[in-house]
Amino acid sequence: MPLPSMLPQQVLPFGFVFVYAAFGVSGFILGWVAQRGNYCFVNAMTSIFTTKSYDRFGALLILFGISALLTGLLVVTGIVPAVDQYYDNYFSGWYVIVGAVIFGFGATMAGGCNLSMLYRAASGYVQNWLELVGMMVGTYIFAVAIWPFQSFTMADGILSTKLGAYTEYLPYDLFHSVSQVSIGVTAAGIGVPLMAIGIFLQRKTRSRRSVQSSGISGIGSLHALAAPASTGRVGPLPLIGLQGTKLRLSDAKEMLLLRRPYGANFSTLLLAGALLLVFVAGAGYTFNYLVITSSDGGRFLEYILMPFGVNLALNTPWYNDALPILDPSVLMVVMLIVGAFSASLLSGDFKVRVPHQRKRLAVGFSGGILVGIGVRTALGCNIGMMWTNFAQLGYDGILFLFSMLFGVWIAVKLQRHLV
């Protein structure tokens, strides 16, 4: 049987300007929507362990499910070639699990995942500024202390796969084929259950909430060391089609005028749309790892040092063999910050917020270091590795999800002792 192709094919042959522009637009949407929806993967997970609320976690599962389904649909219908879906699938191994646990722990302590760190930093949360700085430091620590060993295990296949690409592609793993049927079956097999579980969890939480009829915060009440949540509405809007009800015109107007935050499910749909945009635009340019934010934590340190005559890409491990000096995610992250900043400013939410408890700053910084180490060890963050990998029909995202949940659980337990 011939091996699957490894020649990416462009869907929209408009050149690099178009690709970069698409990533920039997608980044702006991500920042804007995440800020308006207060979309945080870590808060979604902590709320499971603190308030037993599954609203936001359910929205995450719906996001993963809908991303897998829609990208699968684009491939099955022939709009995007299969090779563009699996071309950038990463290796898998011990590092995904270890890194995700460290990341989940660090992000919970610091008060934000890679997405919420960026939009909260842009909304004026000083704790998240320090988390970002800590992430840069953590990335450097990873580069010089961990990467040489990790790359050795990856090259030698020690508790690691060695090929990536289609060998990490579930349709190929399950059916030894990248035919449209195998991709369609796999996409449905991943997407439908995830969406069903997500909706079920949300309904369960809402019914429990209606019984209790008291305001339960989706953010963990014991989440005392984390950055406080923004004005995002907790839980799914009872207005979205997924919930079987309609978006009222007055609500839409309120959201358009930035008087009202977006609901979790509405945000989910918009985020999935942003992912699809880069999936199509980046196809064939080998940028189809879709949405990515964590690499740029490391890249920004590289950029900050350039004016001082230091080029990390010349002789620092990882920087000199694994991190291209530029890629579309740079523009995506920059525009994500611009989008989040614009949304927070126009909605009146922007304010430079220094935590009353000064120890939060230290916790934010040290948590950021762990985030930097964790995301690089895992070869990506909750966005670039977990969400994206669900859309790539890989299995690293599943490993990352459960490992991250474990890390979050440890951090919640620890916070209970600290508070």
Partner 1 sequence: MSTTTVARKFNYSRLIAPIALIIFAVGWYEFSVVYIPNANNQLVANDNLAVYVPIQQIQGYLAALIDATYLTVSVGLIMFAYYFVKLLRFRSAR
Residues that bind partner 1 (CB under 8 A): 15-21, 24, 124, 303, 306-307, 311, 313-314, 319-328, 330-331, 334-335, 338, 341-342, 345-346, 348, 350-352
Ramachandran bin of 291, using left for φ above 0, alpha for ψ from -120 to 50, beta for the remaining angles = beta
User: Of the two residues 11 and 194, which places its CB atom closer to partner 1 in the complex?
Assistant: 11
Distances (CA, A) of 22 to 74, 104, 382: 17, 30, 21
Q: Specify the amino acid at residue 307.
A: P
Locate 216 and state its tokens: 């339960």
H/E segment holding residue 187: helix 180-212
User: Of the two residues 200 and 321, which places its CB atom closer to partner 1 in the complex?
Assistant: 321
227, 355 in Cβ contact below 8 A?
Answer: yes
Q: How far is the CB of 293 from partner 1 (least distance, A)?
A: 16
Closest residue by Cα to residue 57 from 393, 83, 367, 65: 65
The values of phi and psi at residue 125, to 5°, are -80, 110
Kindly give the residue spans of alpha helices, DSSP state H, lying in 51-179: 55-76, 83-86, 94-110, 114-122, 126-141, 147-156, 170-175
Q: How far is the CB of 208 from partner 1 (least distance, A)?
A: 38
User: Of the two residues 27 and 232, which places its CB atom closer to partner 1 in the complex?
Assistant: 27
User: Of the two residues 350 and 406, which places its CB atom closer to partner 1 in the complex?
Assistant: 350
Q: How far is the CB of 344 from partner 1 (least distance, A)?
A: 9
User: Of the two residues 20 and 400, which places its CB atom closer to partner 1 in the complex?
Assistant: 20
Q: How far is the CB of 96 from partner 1 (least distance, A)?
A: 22
Distances (CA, A) of 177 to 5, 83, 91, 162: 11, 12, 19, 19
User: Of the two residues 77 and 320, which places its CB atom closer to partner 1 in the complex?
Assistant: 320
Helix (H, G, I), strand (E, B) or coil at 313: helix
Q: How far is the CB of 179 from partner 1 (least distance, A)?
A: 33
User: Of the two residues 249 and 352, which places its CB atom closer to partner 1 in the complex?
Assistant: 352
Q: Which residues of 247-265 are buried (b: 16+ CB within 10 A; e: fewer)?
A: eeeebeeebeebebbbbbb
Distances (CA, A) of 367 to 50, 117, 243, 392, 409: 19, 11, 36, 29, 15
User: Of the two residues 18 and 175, which places its CB atom closer to partner 1 in the complex?
Assistant: 18
User: Of the two residues 78 and 307, which places its CB atom closer to partner 1 in the complex?
Assistant: 307
Q: How far is the CB of 226 from partner 1 (least distance, A)?
A: 23
Q: How far is the CB of 18 from partner 1 (least distance, A)?
A: 8
Q: How far is the CB of 229 from partner 1 (least distance, A)?
A: 20
Locate 91 and state its tokens: 């290796």
Locate 285 and state its tokens: 């340019």
Place of tokens 């670039």: 384
Q: How far is the CB of 224 from partner 1 (least distance, A)?
A: 26
User: Of the two residues 3 and 306, which places its CB atom closer to partner 1 in the complex?
Assistant: 306
Q: How far is the CB of 231 from partner 1 (least distance, A)?
A: 15
Q: How far is the CB of 143 from partner 1 (least distance, A)?
A: 12
Give 156: exposed, middle or buried? Use CB within 10 Å, 0-12, 13-18, 19+. exposed
Which residues are registered as beta bridge partners of 160?
93
Helix (H, G, I), strand (E, B) or coil at 216: coil
Distances (CA, A) of 272 to 26, 29, 38, 60: 10, 10, 16, 11
User: Of the two residues 84 and 349, which places its CB atom closer to partner 1 in the complex?
Assistant: 349
